Structure 1
């Protein structure tokens, strides 16, 4: 059974799949008479297709046990999709499994371990596994597209690939 190695999430390693949303290394400056620090343009939403709008939601994920069989992947052809954990604990973890856009290729999947202070923004069309929380129930702010057109393609896998 093939197993995906877990990589540490970094901007460089994740670049082929989208953007990492984190404060470390971000452009920032004081605003509001110095009472607030703005971490500017951490990611760009790609949702402005015809009849599309950007929305914010909260997803509550139940923890999953490892190793985890990869049985489904999905992609959003009409817009990006961002996940930002609602935690202040850098030790909270979740997993991201991705594959390049286009025709799905299981042998091109990659898996990343994400810390609680990191979010991800999947680029339009990037294949990804549904949310994988670890250790505890976890809430995420999700930014994605709503509107006309079908924006979620899913592919069922045989579960022969595992992560963790």
Structure 2
């Protein structure tokens, strides 16, 4: 059995925890594929509480004509309805791409405990790549952030999508 692995500056996970995070990220990848299949940017999310998925979401901004319909927001809306609460304490959100500032702000409002993401986002990432919402002292909620879970798989899906899109635009 492997030793514990340092995931970020202050997150040390054992092999069982890593496997669990990878399994839930696989579920987020299934959601991302759904977005891909309908022509949306392939980002998927799941929300987990007590080891069970309580909500799923994938990007729907184009199909819903709603710029806020990011995978994370879609999953949060579903989870809030299911829980009959606008707060989601003791939950973990898994998402295939590092969230933007809008989505990161929603995590603070809903009191999600932990966010696990796959690929970093060099353009819009708000959980460490460009900025980190945890760095703002004015916010009264801090997230546990676990980056780069199944990073390669998550990154490949997004890169493939945009490569296909560029190829279609050139035709």
Higher relative contact order (CA 8 A, sep 6+): 1
Q: Which has the higher helix share?
A: 2
TM-score, normalised to structure 2's length? 0.24
